[in-house]
Structure 1
Amino acid sequence: MPDLFDDDPLPDSKPAPLREDAPLADRLRPAILAEVIGQEHLTGPEGAIGRMVAAGRLSSMILWGPPGTGKTTIARLLADSVGMRFESVSAVFSGVADLKKAFAAADRAAEAGQRTLLFVDEIHRFNRAQQDGFLPFVERGTVTLVGATTENPSFALNAALLSRAQVLILQRLDHKALDQLLDRAEGLEGPLPLTPPAREALVASADGDGRFLLNQAETLYNAMLGEPLDPAALGAFLQRRVAVYDKDREGHYNLISALHKAVRGSDPQAALYYLARMLVAGEEPRFLARRLVRMAVEDIGMADPQALTQCMAARDAYEFLGSPEGELALVQACIYLATAPKSNAVYKAQKSAFKSARETGSLTPPQNILNAPTKLMKDIGYGAGYSYDHDAYEGFSGDNYWPEEMDPQTYYQPVERGFERDIAKRLDYWDKLRRDRE
C-alpha cells in the first residue's frame, strides 16, 4: 500500500447533515430502502436487492436505468442496510488519483474489520483501462462495487467487469410513482399551486424522471404564486411544453399506447388522430420522434427497411425546423409507418438471439473463420480451410459458421409481406445451395 495514504484518516462514510435550504430532492431522499419509490421489483422482499439485504451480504452490481430513478439513493441505502462504509466517486469528476485514494481507504478499513461499498456514478464514462483497474480490488473483496449507468452495460462496460457484477435494471418511474413523489413534496412543503389538471400535466412532463419532477415542483414553490396555475399557464411559467389533459384525463401513456397500436394496426387515420392529440396537447415532439423510430424497427422492420430511414429523416427535419414547422415531418413519418407492410420478424429474432446468447455463454467460433494476424495463430489452425465466398459459385460458399458445440439456429424468419417476401426467397435459395453441397 502506498505510504502517502498510511496516515490519512478514514473518510466519513455518512453524508453531512442536510441544510434547511438544501434542494427539495435531497430533503425528500428516502432514509430506508422501503421508502424508495418505483423500484419494488428490486428492493422488495422478492427482489434481488431485497434478498441480498435480508441475507446481510452484497455482491457487486451495476444499476442500469434512466436518470432520476434512484440509483444513487439505492446505493447509499444499501451500505446503511448492511453496515458498510459508503465511498462515492463520479466518473465525470474523478480520475485515477481519486480511485487510488478510494481503494487505499478501503484497504485500511478492511484491516480495521470494516467492509466498503464503493459507489461509482456514471461508471460507463471510465475508459476500459480504468474499468480494468477495479478488477483486483473487487476480486479480493477490498470493495463491493456498485456502479450506476444510464448506458447499456453490454456496450459501455468491459466484459471482465460485467462478469464480476450483477446487472440490475431500474425502471423509469411510472405515473403512480411520480404522483407519490409529489405527494411527499406536498406533505413537506404544502399543496402545489396547481389545478388538478395542471398537476397531472406536471407529472406527465417528467417522462419518468423523479429528480426532474421534484426540481420543477421546487421552482413552483419558490415562485410564491398567488393563484393555482392551469396547464396552459404552467407550460408558460416553466417555459416547457406541458401536456394538457381533457376532462376524462386520458394520460400521456394511454395516448402513446393508442398511437403505437393504431400504427401497428395499419390505420393511418386513427394514428394521425392520436399523434395530433399529443402534439396539440403540448407533448414533447422529440419523445414522439423516438417512439416512431421504435415502431419502425419493432412493427415494420425488414418488411420495409425504408421505414427506419423515414423516421430518422423526420427526426432530423424536426431538429432543423423546430416547432411547429418540423412537426409536419413527424406527421409524414407516422403516415408512412401506418401504411407500410408490417412484420415483427426482426423484433422476434432479436429476442430469440439474445436468449440463445445468454444460454450458450462464450462458445468459440469455428477455427476456419477466426482471424489469424500472427504466424502462431496460423500455425495452430486459425483461419485454416476458410472459403472466401466471393470466389464460390453464386458468391456463396455454404460454410458452417456456428460453434462446434452448437447446432445451427433459426432466429430470423421473414414474413410473406413487403420486402421480406424477397428476403424469404433469397434465404430459401441459399438453404437449397447449402443442402446441395452437403
Structure 2
Amino acid sequence: MSTTQPMADLLRPSHLDEVVGQSHLLGEEGPLHGMLETGRLQSLVFWGPPGTGKTTLARLLAGVGDLHFEPISAIFSGVADLRKLFARARERRAAGQGTLLFVDEIHRFNRAQQDGFLPYVEDGTVILVGATTENPSFELNGALLSRLRVLVLRRLDAAALETLLGRAETALGHPLPLTAEAREMLITLADGDGRYLFNMIEQIASSPAEVIDPTALLRLVQRRAPAHDKDREGHYNLISALHKSLRGSDADAALYWLARMVAGGEDPLYIARRLIRFASEDIGLADPDALRHALAARDAWHLLGAPEGELALVQAVIYLATAPKSNAAYRAWKQARRSAEQHGSLMPPAHILNAPTRLMAELGYGQGYAYDHDTDSGFSGQDYFPDELPRQHYYQPVERGFEREISRRLAYWARLRSSQN
C-alpha cells in the first residue's frame, strides 16, 4: 500500500458494482442503472451527506460513457476557469468526444454563475454532474435545476461501512487490532461517511498498540460532532423531527432529537423558543401548564447555561411530549385572522362602545349594553361581533385535558345565550 496516497483515494471503486450503499440508484430498478442500460446519460445532481460516493459515481459514469472527466470545485473556481473549461469541452466535442463536467459543491456557485452553465448543458457541450450536501431546491436556481435530474445518495449504513473496513484491511494485509466493541464503535463514529472511516483507519494503522479497545479508540481518533448545519437544511430537519415527535407524544424520540441538536451545537435558546411555540400551537389549553413549563426551561437556561441548563430543556421536552394535545387555539387564531382580513374594518356594535362625550352618547354609543355581573348567572349573552358579521365559532376545543372542561363551559354559555335570545 502506498504511504503517500490517501486510503480513500487508493480504494476508490474502479467499477460501478464496487460502489456500496447506493443500491437504490444502481440496482435494476434504480435510475442510474436505467440510464446506463439505455446509454443515455443525462445531466444530474448528486445530493447527499459527505463520504457517500458522489465524486466516485461521477468518475465511474464518465468511464462507462467514454466521456472525458473534467472535475472542478465551486469553492476554488470562478468565471474565468469555467470559460476555459467550456472552450476545451467544445474542442473535444468537435473531435468526437464528450465531456462529463463534475462540479463539487455546486451550491457554492452564485445564481449568475449557475446561469452560465445553461447554454452548454442545453446544447450538449457538457454532461453536467453536480454534487452537493445541501438541498438543491433551496441552493440551485430554478432554471438550472429544471435541466438536472436530482439523485439522492444515502448515508452509508453499517453493512456498507463494514465492507469498506474489510477492503481497507485487505489493502493493509492484516486486520486492525480492534476489539469487537471497538470495531463496532469505529463504524458508529464514521456516522455514515466512508471517507471519514478511511481517515480513522489510517490513524489506527499507524498506531503501535497491539490491542485497541473503545477507550483507546476514542483517544486515538478525533471524534467529530454529529452532522448538523445550524443555518441549513440539517437544522430544519432536526427541529422538524423534534416538533413532530413531541406532537406524536413520543418522549423517547423527542429526547433523541433534542440530544442530536445539542450535540451538533444548536443554540439552546433556539430550542427553547421552539418549545414555547409548540406549547401554544400543539397543546394550548388542553394543558395550560405546558406554556409555563416551556417558559421556565428558557429561564433556567438563561440562569444556568451549559451543561446544567440542558436538564431544564429535557424536563420541558418530556412534559410537552406527555401532555394532552390540542391545536384548537392555533386553528381558532387562523380562522379569526382570516375573518379579519376578509371583512375589512367593521365597526364594533354600538352597545359595547364607551361614550365619553355627549356626541357619542347621542349617537347611541353604549346604549343597551348589559353589564354581565349584574345578571343572576354572570352572563348576559349579548352579541359582541360587528352588526354586519354573523356570530362566528372559531374555537372548537377537543375532549382532551383541560379543554374538556372548557368545552363544558362553552356549552353552558351557549344554552344560556339560546334561552335569552
TM-score (norm 1): 0.61
Rounded to whole Å, the distance in 1 between the matches of 2:16 and 2:326 is: 43
Rounded to whole Å, the distance in 2 between the matches of 1:336 and 1:122 is: 41
2:21 matched residue in structure 1: 38
The Cα shift of 1:332 comes to 3.1
Give runs of aligned pairs for residues 274-423 of structure 1, distance below 5 A.
285-286=262-263, 302-304=281-283, 324-325=307-308, 327-329=310-312, 331-342=314-325, 389=342, 391-393=344-346, 416=398
The Cα shift of 1:184 comes to 1.3
The Cα shift of 1:392 comes to 5.0
Q: Is the 8 A contact 2:245 2:253 kept in 1?
A: yes
Give runs of aligned pairs for residues 168-317 of structure 1, distance below 5 A.
168-189=151-172, 190-226=174-210, 228-240=211-223, 266=249, 268=251, 285-286=262-263, 302-304=281-283
Question: Which string of whole-angstrom CA distances, capped at 9 and with x for unpartnered residues, describes residues 180-236 of structure 1?
Answer: 11111112122122111111111112221111111111111122322x222122223
Q: Is the 8 A contact 1:42 1:48 kept in 2?
A: yes
1:121 matched residue in structure 2: 104
Rounded to whole Å, the distance in 1 between the matches of 2:130 and 2:190 is: 24
The Cα shift of 1:389 comes to 4.8
The Cα shift of 1:342 comes to 4.9
Change (3 A) 1:242 1:139: closer
The Cα shift of 1:34 comes to 1.0
Q: Is the 8 A contact 1:235 1:242 kept in 2?
A: no
Question: Which string of whole-angstrom CA distances, capped at 9 and with x for unpartnered residues, describes residues 144-199 of structure 1?
Answer: 10000111111100100011110111111112211211111112122122111111
The Cα shift of 1:262 comes to 8.7
Q: Which amino acid aligns with 1:177?
A: A
Question: Which string of whole-angstrom CA distances, capped at 9 and with x for unpartnered residues, describes residues 216-260 of structure 1?
Answer: 11111122322x2221222233253899xxxxxxxxxxxxxxx99
Change (3 A) 1:183 1:165: same
Q: Count matched residues.
A: 316
Identify unmatched segments of 5+ residues in structure 2: 227-241, 285-289, 329-339, 349-395, 408-421
**Alignment of 1:104 onto 2:81:** no
Rounded to whole Å, the distance in 2 between the matches of 1:234 and 1:47 is: 38
Q: Is the 8 A contact 1:66 1:150 kept in 2?
A: yes
Rounded to whole Å, the distance in 2 between the matches of 1:232 and 1:224 is: 16
2:37 matched residue in structure 1: 54
Q: Which amino acid aligns with 1:153?
A: P
Q: Secondary structure at the match of 1:119?
A: strand
The Cα shift of 1:135 comes to 0.1
Change (3 A) 1:168 1:184: same
Rounded to whole Å, the distance in 1 between the matches of 2:326 and 2:19 is: 39
The Cα shift of 1:333 comes to 4.8
Larger radius of gyration: 2
Q: Secondary structure at the match of 1:59?
A: coil
The Cα shift of 1:30 comes to 0.5
Q: Percent sequence identity over matched residues?
A: 53
Change (3 A) 1:302 1:184: farther
The Cα shift of 1:310 comes to 6.0
Q: Is the 8 A contact 1:33 1:77 kept in 2?
A: yes
**Alignment of 1:21 onto 2:7:** no
2:136 matched residue in structure 1: 153
Change (3 A) 1:242 1:98: closer
Change (3 A) 1:135 1:38: same
Rounded to whole Å, the distance in 2 between the matches of 1:265 and 1:41 is: 30
The Cα shift of 1:416 comes to 4.3
Q: Is the 8 A contact 1:124 1:156 kept in 2?
A: yes
Rounded to whole Å, the distance in 1 between the matches of 2:121 and 2:344 is: 50
Q: Secondary structure at the match of 2:100?
A: strand
Change (3 A) 1:151 1:344: farther
The Cα shift of 1:328 comes to 2.4
The Cα shift of 1:330 comes to 5.0
RMSD of Structure 2 on Structure 1 (CA): 4.4
Q: Which amino acid aligns with 1:141?
A: G
Q: 198-207 or 153-162: which moved more?
A: 198-207
Q: Is the 8 A contact 2:283 2:327 kept in 1?
A: no
Q: Secondary structure at the match of 2:97?
A: coil
Rounded to whole Å, the distance in 2 between the matches of 1:415 and 1:69 is: 48
The Cα shift of 1:91 comes to 0.5
Specify which of 95, 99, 105 is matched with residue 78 of structure 2.
Answer: 95
Q: Secondary structure at the match of 1:236?
A: helix
Rounded to whole Å, the distance in 2 between the matches of 1:416 and 1:48 is: 47
Rounded to whole Å, the distance in 1 between the matches of 2:61 and 2:121 is: 17
Rounded to whole Å, the distance in 1 between the matches of 2:342 and 2:26 is: 52
The Cα shift of 1:103 comes to 0.5
Q: Secondary structure at the match of 1:118?
A: strand
